[in-house]
Structure 1
């Protein structure tokens, strides 16, 4: 199956790729985890372990994003928007540095949804198989 070069697939794949890089960086560079813990004002060892575990989980989710982008799986893309919406609320309620993460999650949701809606709207204008 050839790679479906749609805007939503490209954006979703970039999100997944960046997530994987972030996950690998947090696992392979302990100094990065320490730096992140200082930025987020976290001093406890369990919190640092949680960040490391989150990096692993985020890497797995990012792999799902890349796979969904490759297959142009719009159903997964729509569900990711729901998940990101929950992240916006959760991180937004924490405030501080977490507010920046909420903004990023919100921006990625809007960007993905906008492209999916655009593709859905313009899909009827394309002739299949041509």
Structure 2
């Protein structure tokens, strides 16, 4: 299954590198992970369904991933906003950039874990301290 993710990711990264201007190529390459892992998820679900003899609850799987996707999107948006605000106020250089990145990352993590926990995503209940 990891091979499928890798093949799709390599194809998308290569296409984005060749087709996009250098200014956007790196960002677009990072964005190639989303469709790569989405395809990996579909392949994994199909294989699990086949091995489980049809006993896999697709609805639960879809709902869980939808919840986690919303939580990740909200965390990413707020994390980006915090990083941009810090970057604007702190200026340029290694230390301000590091602080901006750290603030954005911490915001993303806190918002993601908090919002993913609200709809009781089963995967997060297994983490210590998040019951």
TM range (shorter): 0.3 to 0.5
Larger Rg: 2
**TM-score, length-normalised on structure 1?**
0.32
Larger relative contact order (C-alpha < 8 A, sep ≥ 6)? 1
Q: What is the TM-score normalised by the length of structure 2? A: 0.32
